[in-house]
Amino acid sequence: MLNYLGALFPLSPTFIITLENVMYEQEFSHKQKLLEPPQRAVHAWFLLEGVVSASVFDKDGQEVVIRLYLPKVVFTDFNSFLYGRASSVMLRAVGNVLVQHISIGDFKLRMTPFSQTNDLKEHIILRDQLLDQQRSMLIHLPDEDRFNEFSAFFPMNDLPNVVGASFLNMGTTKYCNLKAAWNSRNK
C-alpha cells in the first residue's frame, strides 16, 4: 500500500511508520461480504489481489453492481466510514481476495493528524466519482460497444457472468452471448 500511496503524493516518514503499524492483512473467499447494509463501515481496505464488487439495491430489491475494484486501490463506503452512517453499499469478494485493512478507530486516532490522510480521502472520493462516471458512460453505449469497452479493463474470465452483466446493466443471456463471441475471438 505504501508504494501505491507514495506514487500519489509524498509520504512523511512518520506517516509511513504509523500506517505500517495499523494495517492488517485479511483474506476473503468468493462471495464473502466485506460490508453489508445497513452495517456501518468500520474498515477501509487496500486491495492486494482479486476483485471486489460494490453493489446497491434498486427499488425492487435487486442487487446492482455499481463498481468493480481491481488490485492496488483503497476502498470503503466512505460516507459510512467517515461519518458513522449506515451503509447503503454491499462490498463483496469476487473470487478469492487478499486485502490490507485499517479500522475506523486506528484511522481516526492515529492517521487523521497527517496531511497525507486528507490527500488520501480526496483521492478516494475523486476515484469513486470517476468510476461512477465511467460506468454511467458505459451503460449508455450499445450492448456490443459496452461489452468491448468493459473487456478492455476487466478480467473477463475471472468475473462471474451475473456480476459482469449487472455492472453493464444488461441481461445475463446477452452478456453470456457477447462473452462467448469475445472468447472465440481472443483464443
Specify the range with the lowest mean pLDDT, choosing from 27-31, 145-149, 155-159.
155-159
pTM here is: 0.91
The confidence score (pLDDT) of residue 75 equals 93
The answer to whether the CB of 108 falls within 8 A of the CB of 83 is no
Is 80 exceeded by the pLDDT of residue 128?
yes
- Highest averaged pLDDT of the listed ranges 11-20, 28-37, 117-126: 28-37
CA-to-CA distance for 148 and 127, rounded, in angstroms?
A: 22
Each residue's pLDDT tens digit, 84-111: 999 999 999 999 999 999 999 999 999 9
Listed by start position, the domains of the chain span: 2-138, 141-187
Place of cell 446497491: 56
Based on C-alpha coordinates, what's the Rg of the chain? 18
Fold entry, domain 2-138: Jelly Rolls (2.60.120)
The confidence score (pLDDT) of residue 54 equals 96
CA-to-CA distance for 72 and 99, rounded, in angstroms?
A: 10
